Amino acid sequence: MSFIESYRCGVEMVKAGGTLIREHQSGGRLYTLYSGWAFRYKTLSDGRRQILNFLLPGDLVGLQQEFSDAALHGVEAVTDCAFCAFDADGLWSMFREHARLAYGVTWLAARGEGMVDDNLLTAGRRSAIERVAVLLVHLYRRLDRLGLAEGASVDFPINQQHIADALGLSLVHTNKTLRRLSEMGMHEISGGRLRLLNPRALARIAEYYDAIPRPVPLL
Partner DNA sequence: CGGCAGTTTGAATATTATCAAGGGATGTGG
Partner DNA sequence: CCACATCCCTTGATAATATTCAAACTGCCG
Interface positions with its own copies (CB under 8 A): 26, 40, 42, 44-45, 48-50, 52, 63-64, 66-73, 91-92, 95-96, 99-100, 102-103, 105-107, 109-121, 123-126, 167-168, 207, 209-214
What 8-state DSSP symbol labels residue 126?
-
Among residues 196, 42, 50, 205, which one has the least CA distance to residue 131?
Answer: 205
Helical segments of the chain, H only = 2-7, 63-67, 91-97, 99-125, 128-145, 160-167, 171-183, 199-206
Nearer to its own copies, 34 or 107 (CB): 107
By beta-carbon proximity to DNA, the closer residue of 35 and 170 is 170
CB 87, min distance to DNA, A: 34
What are the Cα distances from residue 162, in Å, to 29, 66, 81, 168?
25, 26, 17, 10
In 3-state terms the chain splits into helix, strand, coil percentages (rounded to 5) of 45, 25, 30
> Shortest distance, CB of residue 129 to DNA, whole angstroms?
7
- Choose the one of DNA, its own copies, none that binds residue 89, judging by a C-beta under 5 to 8 angstroms depending on kind: none
β-pair partners for 1: none
Query: At its nearest, how many Å lie between DNA and the CB of residue 178?
Result: 6
Q: How far is the CB of 72 from DNA (least distance, A)?
A: 24
Q: Residue 172: which of DNA, its own copies, none does it interact with, CB under 5 to 8 A by kind?
A: DNA
42 binds, options its own copies, DNA, none, Cβ within 5 to 8 A by partner type: its own copies
Residues whose CB is less than 8 angstroms from the CB of residue 189 and which lie 6 or more positions away in sequence, other chains included: 156, 178, 182, 195
Specify the residue, 15 or 24, whose C-beta has the smaller distance to DNA: 15
